[in-house]
Chains A and B, each alone.
Chain A
Amino acid sequence: MVEYNELIFEMSRQGRIGSSLPESDVDKVDLHDKLPAHLIRDMPAELPEVSELQLIRHYTALSNKNHGIDNGFYPLGSCTMKYNPKINEDVARFEGFSRIHPYQPVETVQGALKLLHELQEDLAEVTGMDAVTLQPSAGAQGEWTGLMMVKAYFEQKGEKRIKVLVPDSAHGTNPASATVAGFKTVTIPSNEDGLVDLAELKKHVGHDTAALMLTNPNTLGLFEKDIVDIAKVVHEAGGLLYYDGANANAILGKTTPGNMGFDIVHLNLHKTFTTPHGGGGPGAGPVGVKEKLIPYLPVPRIEKENDQYVLNSHHPLSIGRVKGYYGNFGILVRAYTYIRTMGPVGLRQVSESAVLHANYLRKKLEPYFESPYSQYCKHEFVLSGSRQKKLGVRTLDMAKRLLDFGYHPPTIYFPLNVEECMMIEPTETESKETMDAFAEAMIQIAKEVEENPDVVLEAPHTTIIGRLDEVQAARQPILRYSKEE
Chain B
Amino acid sequence: MNKLKASVSNEGKFPRIDANLSGGCGLAVNLSIIFDEPRRHDIILENKGVQIRIDHFTKRYLNEEIHIDYTDEQGFLLGEHFESGPCTIEMT
Residue ID in chain B nearest A391 by CB atoms: B40
Q: Which residues of A contact B56 (CB under 8 A)?
A: 392-393, 457
Task: Tell me, in angstroms, the Cα distance from A389 to B19 when the chains sit together.
Answer: 11
> Would A475 and B39 count as touching, CB distance under 8 A?
no
> Would A475 and B24 count as touching, CB distance under 8 A?
no
Q: Which residues of B contact A395 (CB under 8 A)?
A: 21
Kindly count the residue-residue contacts between A and B in the assembled complex, taking CB atoms under 8 Å apart.
61
> Would B37 and A413 count as touching, CB distance under 8 A?
no
Q: Which residues of B contact A396 (CB under 8 A)?
A: 21, 57
> Would A413 and B41 count as touching, CB distance under 8 A?
no
Residue ID in chain A nearest B60 by CB atoms: A471
> Would A414 and B23 count as touching, CB distance under 8 A?
yes
- Any B CB within 8 A of the CB of A470: yes
> Would B61 and A412 count as touching, CB distance under 8 A?
no
CB distance from B84 to the nearest CB of A (A): 11
> Would A471 and B89 count as touching, CB distance under 8 A?
yes
Task: Tell me, in angstroms, the Cα distance from A20 to B1 when the chains sit together.
Answer: 72
Residue ID in chain A nearest B43 by CB atoms: A392
- Any B CB within 8 A of the CB of A1: no
> Would A172 and B25 count as touching, CB distance under 8 A?
yes
Task: Report A355-393 residues with CB < 8 Å from chain B CB.
Answer: 389-393
Interface string of B44-85 (1 = CB under 8 A from A): 000000000001110011000000000000000000000000
Q: Which residues of B contact A457 (CB under 8 A)?
A: 56-57
Task: Tell me, in angstroms, the Cα distance from A451 to B61 when the chains sit together.
Answer: 25
Q: Which residues of B contact A392 (CB under 8 A)?
A: 39-42, 55-57
Q: Which residues of B contact A171 (CB under 8 A)?
A: 24
Task: Report A301-345 residues with CB < 8 Å from chain B CB.
Answer: none
- Any B CB within 8 A of the CB of A397: yes
Given contacts A172-B24, A396-B57, contact A474 B42 (CB under 8 A): no
CB distance from A454 to the nearest CB of B (A): 9
- Any B CB within 8 A of the CB of A453: yes
> Would B21 and A413 count as touching, CB distance under 8 A?
yes
Q: In the complex, given contacts A390-B37, A392-B57, A413-B22, what are 4 additional A-B residue pairs having Cβ atoms less than 8 angstroms apart?
A: A392-B42, A396-B21, A412-B23, A414-B22
Given contacts A390-B39, A391-B39, contact A412 B21 (CB under 8 A): yes
Interface residues on A, range: 20 to 34
Q: Which residues of A contact B29 (CB under 8 A)?
A: 470-471
Task: Report A441-482 residues with CB < 8 Å from chain B CB.
Answer: 453, 457, 470-471, 473-475
Task: Tell me, in angstroms, the Cα distance from A453 to B91 when the chains sit together.
Answer: 25
Task: Report B3-54 residues with CB < 8 Å from chain A CB.
Answer: 21-25, 27, 29, 37, 39-42
3 shortest interchain CB distances as A-B pairs: A413-B23, A172-B24, A414-B23
Interface string of A392-404 (1 = CB under 8 A from B): 1111110000000
Interface string of A414-446 (1 = CB under 8 A from B): 111000010000000000000000000000000
Task: Tell me, in angstroms, the Cα distance from A412 to B40 when the chains sit together.
Answer: 22
CB distance from A279 to the nearest CB of B (A): 15
> Would A453 and B40 count as touching, CB distance under 8 A?
yes
> Would A473 and B91 count as touching, CB distance under 8 A?
yes
Q: Which residues of B contact A145 (CB under 8 A)?
A: none
CB distance from B65 to the nearest CB of A (A): 14
Task: Tell me, in angstroms, the Cα distance from A474 to B25 when the chains sit together.
Answer: 15
Q: Which residues of A contact B40 (CB under 8 A)?
A: 390-392, 453
Question: Mind listing 19 A-B residue pairs with CB under 8 Å?
Answer: A172-B24, A390-B37, A392-B55, A392-B56, A392-B57, A393-B57, A395-B21, A397-B57, A412-B23, A412-B27, A413-B22, A414-B22, A414-B24, A453-B40, A453-B41, A470-B91, A471-B29, A471-B89, A474-B91
- Any B CB within 8 A of the CB of A173: yes
CB distance from B42 to the nearest CB of A (A): 7
CB distance from B31 to the nearest CB of A (A): 11
Q: Which residues of B contact A397 (CB under 8 A)?
A: 57
